[in-house]
Structure formats: C-alpha cells, structure tokens
Amino acid sequence: MSEAIAYERVGEIAVLKAQNPPVNALGIDVRKGLLAGIERAESEGARAILIYGDGRTYFSGADIREFGKPPQDPYLPDLCSRIEASPLIVVSSMHGTALGGGLEVALSSHYRIAVPAAKMGLPEVNLGILPGAGGTQRLPRLAGSEAALEMITTGRHIGAAEALDKRIIDRIEAGEPREIGLAYAQELLDAGAPRRAVGEMPAPGMVDFDAAHKAALKKGRGQLSPAAAVRAVQAAAEAEDFGAGLKRERELFQELMASPQRQGLVHAFFSERAVGKLPELAGIAPREVASMGVIGGGTMGAGIATAALLAGLPVVLIEMTDAGVAAARGRIEGNLKGALMRGKITQTQYGQLTGEALTVATDYAALGQVDLVVEAVFEDMGVKREVFGKLDSHCKPGVVLATNTSYLDVDDIAAATSRPGDVIGLHFFSPAHVMKLLEIVVAAQTTPEVLATGFALGKRLKKVAVRSGICDGFIGNRIMNTYRKAAEYVVLDGASPYQVDKVVTDFGFPMGPFAMGDLAGLDINWAARKRRAPTRDPRERVPRFYEMLCEGGDFGQKTGKGFYIYEDGKRGGVPNPQVAELIAEDQEQQGITPRAFSDAEVLRRYMCAMVNEAAKVVGEGIARRPLDVDMVMLFGFGFPRFWGGPLKWADLQGLEGILADIHSYAAEDGFFWQPAPLLDKLVSEGRSFEILNQSA
Ligand code: 3HC
Ligand code: NAI
C-alpha cells in the first residue's frame, strides 16, 4: 500500500488515512494511494469508505509544486469522478483546512462530516487558476449558484457552521476525524443510507452570470482567474449535463494553468513563505518580547503602537510634551475605534487596550521594563541620535533598540549607543497597523539574535518581514524613487500625469505615482528633493513642475489640490488644469519639445526603471534574493500580486528585451538609464532572477 495513504479495515468500513505532511497536499503519491485504496475497498467487499487526514489537516489542496510540470496519472479530476462513482458509500471526515482539490475530494464523497473548527474553501483563484477537479460543478449543486460564485471568486475560507448552513457538509461533530467519521459511516450503513453523488444532483439555478463576470473583472483589477471561474460555474447551470460542465471547467482550468498570471501568483505564494527563511537565522532563538516601547506618537508611532496593542503587546509610548501625549493617545484611540467598528475587537477589548495595556508618558523612565523599543520621531539624524542616547541610559540590558527611519543610516544611529549590536531598523509602512510590509534593516553590528527578534516580532504583528541592507531608502523607497523619476521624465517629455496614472492602474496598481504623491503629501517629497539638491549629480535631469506645484502651496489631498483637485465628499480627484500649464512652462524653460508617448511605452519605461533599480538592489546585496524585492513591492507598494513582483514580471517578459530597452533609453539619458550590472550578467549568462531565488 502507498505510504501517503494508509489503508485499514474497521468492520465493513475501509479507512483511508492521508499521511503527507505538512498539509496533506494531493501530490502524485497521495492520488495513487487514494485510487488504490478505493479499488482495494471495493475488491475486498467493504460496504463503506472513510477518507480523512492524519496530522493537522484533511487535504489542503493539489500539490502546488506540481503546477507547470507534465501532469501525472491519476489526474485529480478523474480521481474525484472515480470516488464519486464508487458503489460503496464514501464519507469524508474533515478537520484543519479542506481547501481546493481537498474540498473537491470531499465534494466527490457521498457524505461529509467536519469538526467544529474545520475550515474549507476553494481558494484556487488566488493561485491564478480555478477549481479544476469538479469544484465549480459540484459546489453550486449543493450551495446554489450565488453562494458558489461568492466562494469561488473570492477564494474565501468558511467555517464548519457556515458550510453546514450552505449544505456543503452534512454534519458537525466534535472529536477526532477518524472516530467521528467511523461513527457516521456506521450510522449510515445501519440506516441503509443510499450512495449520494453530488454530480447526479440537479443543475443549479440561473443567476445573472454576465453581471457576475463583469463584477469579477472589475474587482480583479486585471486578474483574470475570478472572471474565468464565473464562466465555469455558469457551465454548471447551463451545460447539457454534468459531464459537459466538467469539460468546460477543464478547458478554462487549462487556459489559466498556462497563463503568466498563474506563474506570478504561485511565485507570490511560495515567496511569501520563503521571505522569512534566512540561513543565518537557522537555530538562532529570538529574544523574549513581552512588552514594547514606542518613541514618538505621530502618524507612524501611533500606527506602530496600534499594531502592537492589537497583537496583545502592552505599549509604553513616549512623547515630548503633555500636548504630544494627548495627541498620540487620540491617534491610537482613533485607530482602535476603527478596529472596533470593523468588528476586529470588542468594546471590552477596546477598553483594555486603551486602558491598562497603553501607557503614554513624557519621561523615558517609563521604559524601564520594556523588551523592545521602536523609535518613530522626526526624520532628523540629530534628533534620532539624541533619542538613542537616552534609550541607552534608560533601557535595561538586552533590549532591542529599533528605528523606523525611512532614509537615515542605521549605523550612524547605532553609534549613538554603547550597544550597537542591539540596534536594528524596523521600517513600517503607513498606516502601520494596516500595511503588511515590514523591512528589517540590518546594521553592521546587529547580532543574529536581534535580527531573529525582529522577524519574530514581524510574525507576531502578522507582517510580511523582509531583510534589507542599508542604502538610501532601503529596498522599497529606493526603488520607488527611481520609478517615480521615470514617471516624471516621461511627463517632462510629453506624456500627461493622468496618462501615466491610468497606465499604471490599468497594469494593476491601486494608484498611479501622481495620485499617490497627492495622497502622501507632495510637500514630503519636495522636502526630500530640496535636501538632495546640493549633492545632486550635475548629469541628472531635473523636472521642475513638481516643485512649481508645491511652491504654489498645492500639496495634494491635504490642501485639496495637487495633480488632482479634490472636492469635498467626492472619492478621488479630477485633473488640475493648472498642472498642464506648469509642465508646459517647465518644458519651455528646459528647451524640451514635447512628444506623444503610447501607453505601452509609458508602461515599459516605468517598469524597466523599476526592474533596473531592483536588480541593482539585489546585485549590491541590499536585498538577498530577487523574491525579497518582489515581496517588498507586493506588500508595501501595491504591485499587482498576479505578476508576482517586478523581478518575476521581468523573468516573464524576458530579461534580454528589458536590457535592450534600457540601452535604447540610455541613448537619450545615459545617466538615469545605467543598466544594472546584475541584469547585464544574467542576460549574458542566459539566466533568470528565478534561478537566483533557487540558488540563494
Ligand atoms: N501544495 C504544496 N505545498 C503546500 C501547499 C500545497 N497545496 N499548501 C501548503 N504547502 C506548503 C507550504 O509551502 C509550506 O511549505 P514550507 O514549510 O516549505 O514553507 C508548508 O506547506 C506549510 O504551509 P504554511 O506555512 O502555509 O502553513 P499554514 O499552517 O500557515 O497554512 C494552509 C496552511 C492554510 C493550508 C496554507 O498553506 C494554504 O493556504 N495552502 C494553499 C491552499 C490552496 O491554495 N489549495 C488549493 C491548491 S490548488 C488546487 O487544489 C487545484 C485543484 O482545484 C485542481
Ligand atoms: P510625525 O511628524 O507624524 O511624528 C513624529 C512624532 O515624534 C511627533 O509626534 C513628535 O512630537 C515626536 N517626537 C519628536 N521628537 C521626539 C522626541 N525626542 N521624543 C519623543 N517624541 C518625539 O512623523 P511620522 O510621519 O510619524 O514619521 C516618524 C518617523 O517614521 C520618521 O523617521 C519617518 O521618516 C518614518 N516613516 C514615516 C512614514 C510615513 O509614511 N509617514 C513611513 C515610514 C517611516
């Protein structure tokens, strides 16, 4: 018998136990084992079959590592049909997460029981595919078209109670999956219950599938799988029989399986899990963190404190004045009220989090017992060094001292203490209690234990933590500054900011760079430009229209006007006509004759600038692996997940073409478009970024 599926006979019941840790994915051995188990049960004269999973879960889906490789027999859809066709009574007993192909095996069984904590769902669209083993045909037959559409197009996991309510399972029972499954199967046999195949049930009802398709396309912002899944469910309602529906599902599944979006989304799935695995952390235990200090309660400090409180960490926050204390408390309470309104916390929890769990003070002595401190004061080296000096004298030994600086050198900050090994950068993104990205910046003397503590904190706060070395802007802001510059250059040369924003949102970003500037406040970037101006390389092209807008007092959303005009109560803005005048003036002063750019060229320049800078970041060792950059862009900058990240996108487009385009742009502006040495090297060796991910 197969090692992946154990076979056991309990009276008239054949028991098939999946043992393929960690999540009982339905790889080839599991599929072979299931088929062999069904055949053996039938040939041995069993009357029922029980399927369940050993360890932490029932099957959590197809084995994603097999995607893109030649499929191996038995295929999952055929296996599901075979299970359903068995003359014996087949029962699935679910615990843990019955997902994707896993739930499809359960739907092919004749009866389903689950423990109360079991979760189930068809999350395939999040991997760029759709349920391909009958899920789009069987689920609507049980739950109805509308409920099936909602579950399949969102990939949402539902609990056992909701599954029972939707008729997806027949019973909920507390206990071990083997025991509750055996009892249920015996009860069915004793009652003479019939074999009950979902595929033989009547087709589900009609709904407005075209409207659902349109809505899925719009919500997907360029992601195709949810919309394709609508068409598959439609086939369940419209096809002439169950077999024809399965065939349609298969066609749509195969189209998606062959798509670059599937590759992008699977890359995102595995990278999200790989990003926190660092060789230098193997066997290193993080320090215990039972409470946290935060210095500065402005936008970031308040957000960081909120995130810590929501993760169950008591917080001591230090501000400069009593007014600062009150303002910081107000911000944190505002954030937590939002969590309360969205049902994330209860009124009692709100009271506890804003009460005993939160101390806001002006005296650093209050930090005496905290285990980790995050500094989020003004972005000024003098102020930061002074704060770290004070932390050094007030914090107990062994405390991790972190800075949330966006651009400053963490080594210089660490040098203000007598314990630089304890100093690290923890770069949160705004709003810090919402955004998933956390860059963990390693300074020259940061110890592995402190780094491990940073990653452990990231996990506790439910962030995607990415290791970064030190450079101007670390991984994310450095790359963002470069592609934003590329956007400004195309505008200086003739494209409009609105064309750029549209091209970028059509690609799948939630916002373009100019709308983003308006949201963040144009004055912030203006200040950074002024700071950099004295050391700017004379070869750098400098668009002026951005500063001209700021000089007029227009800073974006906060002043009601920037690249767009924001009317009270209206979502989004309308183009500010003054911007075109400023651009024309800038062009005239710089002697530029504007030209038209196609949307494709705008996008290509934007993306080439992003990829080129990302390759520099990897080549210089600031990011360890291409996937680290990809995760930063996905979780901090709204890069569309279905492309996997800029370097996955680059691999999918072909590195040679990207390098050739960079060379052609360099003919106009050789300073900005200097090809990344790593990109040159990969192209000359015929390699991809993916190979670097695998070899790291
Ligand atoms: N295939 C292969 N490996 C898988 C896997 C799968 N379906 N699901 C999880 N893994 C791996 C992870 O990569 C990870 O490996 P690592 O330890 O080497 O990093 C390990 O299993 C544990 O996974 P997590 O760290 O994610 O563990 P959690 O406990 O946090 O989460 C989970 C468990 C909820 C099952 C989560 O892993 C998950 O969501 N998995 C994907 C589920 C899914 O999408 N299933 C549908 C697959 S597509 C399909 O079935 C097609 C069919 O319709 C034909
Ligand atoms: P902010 O101006 O909103 O808040 C700074 C707070 O620090 C103020 O409330 C101020 O009173 C307080 N403060 C100043 N000196 C202090 C001291 N010596 N002791 C105690 N409190 C002091 O600034 P913001 O936006 O919160 O930024 C803070 C830090 O986070 C900066 O280093 C910034 O670069 C970084 N950052 C900002 C992001 C953003 O989007 N705003 C994103 C990521 C990092």
* CATH code of the domain containing 595: 1.10.1040.50
In a domain, 270, yes or no: no
Q: Which residue has the higher pLDDT, 2 or 251?
A: 251
pLDDT band at residue 2 under the 50/70/90 scheme: low
Residue from 20, 23, 30, 158 to probe ligand 1 pocket by mutation (most atoms less than 8 Å from CB): 23
Backbone φ, ψ for residue 382 (5° rounding): -60, -50
Task: Give residue 571's pLDDT.
Answer: 75
Q: What is the pLDDT of residue 569?
A: 72
pLDDT tens digits along 474-522:
999 999 999 999 999 999 999 999 999 999 999 999 999 999 999 989 9
Q: Does residue 300 contact residue 426 with C-beta atoms inside 8 Å?
A: no
Residue at which a domain ends, from 468, 490, 521: 468
Same domain, 641 and 675: yes
Q: 111-115, 373-377, 524-528, 581-585: lowest mean pLDDT where?
A: 524-528
Q: Is residue 602 part of a domain?
A: yes
% of the chain at pLDDT higher than 70:
100
625 and 575 co-located in one domain: yes
Q: Could you tell me if 19 and 160 lie in one domain?
A: yes
Chain-centroid distance of CA 267 in Å reads 11
Question: Is 263 a member of any domain?
Answer: no
- Same-domain pairing of 295 and 378: yes
Q: Which two tokens stand for residue 220?
A: 């997907």
CA distances from 159 to 112, 117, 120 (A): 14, 7, 6
What count of other Cβ atoms lies within 10 Å of the Cβ of residue 198?
21
Ligand 1 geometric centre to CA of 286 (Å): 26
Residue 73 has pLDDT above 80, yes or no: yes
Say if 30 falls within a structural domain: yes
Average pLDDT over residues 666-677: 98
Claim to verify: residue 363 and residue 488 sit in the same structural domain:
no
Answer yes or no: do 407 and 490 share one domain.
no
Q: What is the DSSP string of 471-500?
A: STTHHHHHHHHHHHHHHHHHHHTT--HHHH
Helix/strand/coil for 53: strand
| Residue 273 is assigned to a structural domain of this protein | no
124 assigned to active site: yes
Structure confidence at residue 695 (pLDDT): 81
Which residues contact ligand 2 via a Cβ below 6 A? Answer: 295-301, 318-320, 324, 376-379, 383, 387, 404-406, 428-430
Please say if the pLDDT value at position 570 is more than 80. Answer: no
Q: Which two tokens stand for residue 603?
A: 């996008």
Q: Is there a catalytic annotation at residue 685?
A: no
The reply to whether 266 falls in a domain is no
Q: What is the mean pLDDT of residues 84-91?
A: 98
C-beta 123 within 6 A of ligand 1: yes
pLDDT tens string 261-287: 999 999 999 999 999 999 889 999 999
Q: Which protein residue has the closest C-alpha to ligand 2 atom 39?
A: 430
Q: Nearest CA to 441 among 481, 474, 484? A: 474
Pair 505, 637 in one domain: yes
Pocket of ligand 1 contains residue 130 by CB under 6 Å = no
Q: How far is CA 345 from CA 67, 292, 310, 354, in A?
A: 39, 20, 8, 12
Please check the confidence at residue 300 and state whether its pLDDT lies above 70: yes
The whole domain housing 226 covers 5-258
**Interval 613-632 mean pLDDT:** 98
CA distance 15 to 33: 12
SS3 assignment, position 400: strand
Question: Which of 468, 489, 518 is the endpoint of a domain?
Answer: 468
Q: CATH code at 153?
A: 3.90.226.10
Helix (H, G, I), strand (E, B) or coil at 118: coil
pLDDT (average), residues 656-676 = 98
Q: How many beta carbons lie within 10 A of that of residue 570, not counting itself?
A: 9
**Parallel, antiparallel, or unpaired for β 89-94 and 48-53?**
parallel
- Based on the domain organization, do 239 and 297 belong to the same domain? no
With respect to residue 386, please indicate whether it lies within any of the assigned structural domains: yes
Q: Are both 462 and 500 inside the same structural domain?
A: no
The CATH number of the domain where 399 resides is what?
A: 3.40.50.720
Question: How distant is the alpha carbon of residue 693 from its chain centre?
Answer: 18
pLDDT level of residue 528 (50, 70, 90 thresholds): confident
pTM: 0.96
- Pick the catalytic residue from 12, 39, 44, 124: 124
Residues 496 and 564 in one domain: yes
Q: For atom 22 of ligand 1, which residue has the closest CA?
A: 22
In the numeric block, the tokens 């996905």 are attached to 634
> Which ligand is located closest to the Cα atom of residue 437?
2
pLDDT band at 176 (very low <50, low <70, confident <90, very high): very high
Do 462 and 505 lie in a common domain? no
Same domain, 248 and 355: no
Q: What is the spatial distance between Cα 120 and Cα 92, in angstroms, rounded to a whole number?
A: 13
Q: How do residues 112-146 score in pLDDT, each as one tens digit?
A: 999 999 999 999 999 999 999 999 999 999 999 99
| Domain count of the fold of the chain | 3
Taking only the tens place, the pLDDT of each residue in 317-362 is 999 999 999 999 999 999 999 999 999 999 999 999 999 999 999 9
Give the CB-side neighbour count of residue 680, counting CA atoms within 13 A: 8
CA dist 332 and 346 (Å) reads 16
* Average pLDDT in the chain: 97
Domain end position, chosen among 468, 484, 517:
468
How much is the pLDDT for 1? 53
Ligand 2 closest atom vs CA 324: 11
Q: For residue 493, how far is its CA from the centre of ligand 1 (angstroms)? A: 47
Written as one letter, the residue type at 254 is Q
Residue 169 lies in a domain: yes
pLDDT band at 554, cuts 50/70/90?
Answer: very high
Residue 68 — very low, low, confident or very high, per pLDDT cuts 50/70/90?
very high
